[in-house]
Amino acid sequence: MREDSVRISNINVYLIRAAFFAVLIVGLVDSAISFLRIEGFLPALTGEQLANDLGRAQFRGPYVHMPLIVLSLVIAAFTRTLGFTWLALLVVGAELLIVIGRFVFSYEQAFLADLVRFWYAALFLFASAYTLLEEGHVRVDVFYAGMQAKTKGYVNAVGSVILGMSLCAVVLFIGFGGKQSIINSPILAYETTQAGFGLYVKYLMAGFLGVFAVSMLIQFVSYFLDAVADIRGEPGGRDHDSHTVQ
């Protein structure tokens, strides 16, 4: 059970790592395109026709964002870091650029604020599965802390199914329930913000909910198997009080 739990968790780690690289690369590239469009440099670099195409979400999404996402899947296969520490630092750096640009150079553009929201949403939603793996979520341990390992296993197993998997299933069912659902609709329309020259990534942020639900569902399956292993008394269990492996 523990080996299966670790194997499933490792698959999830790869998916989250790929998602990190996707939001990192897409955010930087889309910001560069928006900056070049604002300053009028894009036609000189790409030509008038391509510059106009890059101004359309229906072009930038499939021909710029999607190849970058595929590239992220490849990069994630050859790295061993989740990268969320760096993403948190990048969010702070983007905020710092906004402050410096606004109060020092009197320069402010919508794409910078969009970049902060894009990265922060990814940091919050994608890191949730990793936080579950490290048992970093807030939990009331008044009764749980005094339980035996087997009892904790029952609590974690039931909680994973009743509270965790069910929540993820509801998010996936509602979010992907039809063309007009809260996730499908923005993605299919390549929805963008109404701010002029902002990032064209709003549809990806709707997809973040799907990534969150899938990654959490996978991690809850891993957590459930680990809990069953605790019930069966298999060696190598996690000390849920200190978050270390015994």
User: CA-to-CA distance for 115 and 94, rounded, in angstroms?
Assistant: 7
Query: Tokens representing 117?
Result: 């929201």
pLDDT number for residue 42: 86
Q: Which residues have a Cβ under 8 Å from the Cβ of 28 and sit 6 or more positions away?
A: none
pLDDT number for residue 137: 65
In contact, 210 and 172? CB cutoff 8 Å:
yes
Query: Tokens representing 69?
Result: 């996402």
Exposure b/e, 203-230, CB count within 10 A at least 16 = b: bbbbbbbbbbbbbbbbbbbbbbbbbbbb
Residue 133 has pLDDT above 80, yes or no: no
> What is the SS3 string spanning 148-180?
CHHHHHHHHHHHHHHHHHHHHHHHHHHHCCCCC
Rounded mean pLDDT, 162-172 = 91
pLDDT number for residue 23: 92
Q: What is the pTM of this model?
A: 0.84
